[in-house]
Amino acid sequence: MRPFDAGAMYACRMNLLFDSFWRALTYLLLPRVIFLSFLPLGLLVVASLVLGYFYWTPAVEWVDAQLQAFAVTQSILNWLEDLGWSSLRSMFAPLVVLFVATPVMVVSSLLLVSVFMTPVMVDAVVARRFKHMEAFKGGSFWGSVFWSIGSTALAIIALLVSMPLWLVPPMVLVLPPLIWGWLTYRVFTYEALAEVATKAERETVFERHRLGLLSVGIITGYLGAAPSLLWASGAMFIALAPVLVPLAIWVYTLVFAFSSLWFAHYALAALERLRVNPARHPVPPAPPAPATEALTAPDVDDAVEVSQK
């Protein structure tokens, strides 16, 4: 077995990173993917409208009362009013509610995309590009559920713990995208490899390509922060919130769909290279299969030529 070549591994990651990016962007424009994106959108919009109808006014009133109870926030609002930005005072509480609701929308979009879109998109990537790869089904539905729930819980805890640091510039621009990036990296990489890779292969891809996959997550994490810029418009046009919120939800959905496709192309291509050249990317031995369901290892000679472009 040849020693691990860090330089070659870096070149491999960069190759996979850019190649999978353009492939994911192409797949995102498929009519089937665009159509699927409306299902999470519809579910979240209906939930947002129902919750907004019953809880929007009470939530805004409660936040406004809490803000008035603190002398510091009162001083800031009075200062803004002295500067001639009195309209911002009445919009401060609604904006706080929107900012607090944003993580809920992000997590909901991620989970809905993971449940309704990712399996279909991964199947499309496998059928179009990796249909020659033998599927070992190293993951399961319940394994995916527990993995997603556990990863999401850890991300939410990290968000809550790091919130005080958001007040220190420029941490608010660094920490949330890092946390969302880590979450998407965990969830979508597992989903991409669940049906095709063995558990040992999946762990090896996670280990060997952690930096590349985490880079994909961080980039898409920053893309996912883009809808929050709509709240800047909401400060001036708060009446447009019923339009801005569904638009933000759809952008979240598309970003996570693109992220899922990017992870699928990257992870499956990494798995393909792992199987074609196991000496360069050693795989831990997989556990023996039951005698009644013995699996045959993939024949390297039958593997198609790996795209190196």
pLDDT number for residue 2? 47
Question: Is residue 282 predicted with pLDDT exceeding 60?
Answer: no
19 pLDDT tier (thresholds 50, 70, 90): very high
Burial of 171 (0-12, 13-18, 19+ CB in 10 A): middle
The DSSP call for residue 196 is T
The answer, yes or no, to whether residue 296 has pLDDT greater than 80, is: no
Q: What is the token pair recorded at 21?
A: 């990016």
* pLDDT for residue 25 is more than 60: yes
Q: Choose the weakest-confidence range: 34-38, 75-79, 113-117, 284-288.
A: 284-288
∠188-191-197 over CA atoms, to 5°? 125
**pTM for this predicted structure:** 0.74
- Give the pair of three-digit tokens for residue 138: 């190293």
Average pLDDT over residues 103-124: 85
Per-residue confidence (pLDDT) for residue 216, from 0 to 100: 92
- For residues 86-92, give the mean pLDDT: 66
234-236-237 Cα angle (round to 5): 60
- What is the per-residue pLDDT for 292? 40
At residue 285 the predicted structure's pLDDT band, cuts being 50, 70 and 90, is very low
Distance CA 92, CA 74 (A): 11
Do 39 and 263 touch, CB atoms closer than 8 A?
no
3-state DSSP call for residue 304?
Answer: coil
DSSP 264-295: HHHHHHHHHHHHH-TTTS--PPPPPPPGGG--
In this predicted model, what pLDDT tens digit does every residue of 57-85 receive, in sequence order?
888 888 888 777 776 666 766 776 666 66
- At 258-268, the pLDDT tens digits run 999 999 999 99
Q: Mean pLDDT throughout 264-288?
A: 72
Domains of the chain by residue range? 13-53+101-281
pLDDT band of residue 22 (cuts 50, 70, 90) is: very high
Query: What Cα–Cα distance (Å) separates residue 214 from each residue in 108, 135, 179, 278?
Result: 21, 25, 10, 23
